[in-house]
Copies of this chain bind each other. A is one copy, B any other.
């Protein structure tokens, strides 16, 4: 074998535009609470991996997910949907691997023998997965579903002692379910551009402590697990779109769409973004969101998102009729 090449591909923009925004527009939320931060990242990452694999003519790809979680399923189903000819290796399910490497320390040791230096941080008493949409915490001390999460665990959102004492007022402009402009009426800042907007919503949400949830959920493979999530920007945006769409959509269309959104959310959680049904659902949901355009007024304050007002570009709300 010749030289080893490592490809580092920043997929933030694709993640936001092709996965996060559509999912929020479509009402993607698993079991009514989880905004799918990790579920959306997996098909985005796998799509990138498959592109690289094809570029290099690779026959195999690999992932580091364990055999008990959702992510193995998401990586492998996505890969199978995108290119069934490329095979997927899951070391944590192979005896020759998991028998040799019992844990983190063994892996670091091995890396050292191969000349890699890995920054060894003391292991947190829970596992962490982070991307631009959210951070998730699970395992370790969080496995007991009755044990409250430690206050110093959170990373994207500040705790109550740091919450500002006055709200920030945001006005979010939405076109076809997608945010195109955010105005902070408190600071007069105006933000545009997909990555800029999402990062900004993360910042505002973060400094007001928005988007922390502590839930148990049902994994793809059947077991229940407890997770704690921080999703500041996603939480703000999700509420804004939900609020606006009631004004923009016919009641019965909204009801049908809602039922499709439930199925969509489950499919995404199960790793089926690129499957035939995932694709069909996205196309149907795309049709309904064509009408969701307008503006939503929000207060971000004390860990919460307060919708204050909304105006649709083409509203079905008739102020005369309701009088």
User: Which residues does chain B contribute within 8 Å of A309, judged by CB atoms?
Assistant: 144-148, 214
Cross-chain contact B215 with A307 (CB below 8 angstroms): yes
Q: Of B68, B144, B260, B288, which contacts A256 at CB under 8 A?
A: B260
Cross-chain contact B280 with A224 (CB below 8 angstroms): no
| Number of copies of this kind of chain in the complex | 4
Shortest A99–chain B CB gap in Å is: 18
Cross-chain contact B276 with A280 (CB below 8 angstroms): no
Shortest A248–chain B CB gap in Å is: 10
Q: Which of A38-46, A53-61, A108-116, A297-305 contacts B (4 or more CB under 8 A)?
A: A297-305
Cross-chain contact A276 with B252 (CB below 8 angstroms): yes
29 contacts between A and B (CB under 8 A): A32-B242, A143-B322, A145-B247, A145-B315, A145-B319, A146-B309, A149-B308, A212-B306, A213-B307, A214-B307, A216-B246, A216-B247, A216-B317, A218-B246, A224-B251, A224-B322, A226-B317, A226-B322, A250-B275, A250-B276, A250-B280, A252-B276, A253-B277, A258-B262, A280-B287, A284-B284, A302-B302, A302-B303, A303-B303
Mark A residues whose CB is within 8 Å of B: 31-33, 68, 139, 143-149, 160, 163, 165, 167, 212-218, 222-226, 242-243, 246-247, 250-260, 262-263, 266-267, 275-277, 280-281, 283-284, 287-288, 295, 297, 301-304, 306-311, 315-319, 321-323
Shortest A247–chain B CB gap in Å is: 5
User: Which residues does chain B contribute within 8 Å of A143, judged by CB atoms?
Assistant: 319, 322-323
Bound CA–CA A297/B145 (angstroms): 10
Q: Of B247, B295, B308, which contacts A224 at CB under 8 A?
A: B247
User: Which residues does chain B contribute within 8 Å of A276, judged by CB atoms?
Assistant: 250, 252-253
Bound CA–CA A14/B121 (angstroms): 58
User: Which residues does chain B contribute within 8 Å of A225, judged by CB atoms?
Assistant: 322
Cross-chain contact A223 with B160 (CB below 8 angstroms): no
Q: Of B256, B316, B318, B321, which contacts A280 at CB under 8 A?
A: B256
User: Which residues does chain B contribute within 8 Å of A287, judged by CB atoms?
Assistant: 280, 283-284
User: Which residues does chain B contribute within 8 Å of A252, judged by CB atoms?
Assistant: 267, 275-277
Known: A224-B318, A317-B224. A308 touches B218 (CB 8 A): no
Bound CA–CA A259/B283 (angstroms): 16
